[in-house]
Amino acid sequence: MSTEALFRVRVAEEGKSEFRLLRLLPSRERLVVALREGVLEGLLALPQGSFRRLGHGEALVVPMAALLPEERRQVEVLGYAHTPRRPKGEIAAEVFFLQEEVPLVWVRLDQDGAGVVLEAFLEPEEAA
């Protein structure tokens, strides 16, 4: 495939890559996990009890300050938001998904040499 064709494919994919932003708990950490909508749709289709580690292109963790003001307000009020852009300011973390009655996202990151686990719940109204 030519470079021009690869560029067109990449631009088309980026145009479709919307993200779901979920507030991580405890909220005092002021962090958000951003999940690609297409990946999230696939995760929600997994059978109950499924557990999966998400790869680099599937999810990322960012500080709340990296969000646009309207995104930040929506995350603070509702616990989630949608954005067509990939948030900047990624923090090194491992992201896991657990498909349960209420789907759960776990995030593991290192703070001062200690492992910290944060979580985000995907409420039924968010899955719509």
Q: b/e map of 88-113 (b: 16 or more CB within 10 Å)?
A: eeebebebbbbbeeebebbbebeeee
Q: What is the pLDDT of residues 36-51, one digit of tens each?
A: 999 999 999 999 999 9
Coil, helix or strand for 112?
coil
Residue 124: partners with Cβ closer than 8 Å, 6 or more residues away = 102
pLDDT at 110: 83
The answer, yes or no, to whether residue 59 has pLDDT greater than 80, is yes
110: phi then psi, degrees, rounded to nearest 5:
-100, 130
The answer, yes or no, to whether residue 2 has pLDDT greater than 50, is no
For residue 85, which of 35, 31, 18, 11 has the smallest C-alpha distance? 18
Q: How confident is the model at residue 125 (pLDDT cuts 50, 70, 90)?
A: low
pLDDT at 16: 53
- Mean pLDDT of all residues in 88-98: 95
Q: CA-CA distance, 14 to 23, in Å (whole number)? A: 23
- The predicted model scores a pTM of 0.80
